Amino acid sequence: MSYNVEEYLRKDGTSPYEEWFMGLDAIAATREAKMALTRDFKETIKKRVECDPDFAKTLLHEAVDLLLDGDSATAKLILRDLINATVGFERLAEEVQKPSKSLHRMLSSAGNPTMENLSAIFATIKKSLHVRIETTVIAA
């Protein structure tokens, strides 16, 4: 199932949704961002990342969790939005030595990136965010 979020804009161009979204904590905002995003909403994600670096880290964490839990389609879409909001596809293409269009296709809901490509994508994002990823295995 896919959702299309369209923002209502006031006459002065401000968005009540953006104001609400910007006020959410990083985890709640990440859950909200899992919906299929419109272009305007993607810009809201980018603004949120610019003013709240922890939001970018939370998006990365959520993408990793989703990927490891078997929801690769949603994980790829979150990665795509994270890339748009941080390193950008052109710089990512240079870093991983793949065409930008190929990276866009890999990270579409129907894309099928190899483990090598995913590893390179994660490495570039980690470098850009100045983070490392640690995993823990616990009993279910």
Q: What does the block give as tokens for 106? A: 């890999």
**pTM beyond 0.75:** no
pLDDT band at 13 (very low <50, low <70, confident <90, very high): confident
- Does 111 score more than 70 pLDDT? yes
Q: What does the block give as tokens for 65? A: 């969790």
Best CA proximity match to 30, nearest among 45, 19, 10: 45
Residue 81: half-sphere exposure toward Cβ, Cα within 13 Å: 34
Best CA proximity match to 124, nearest among 74, 100, 88: 88
Q: Which one is predicted more confidently, 38 or 131?
A: 131
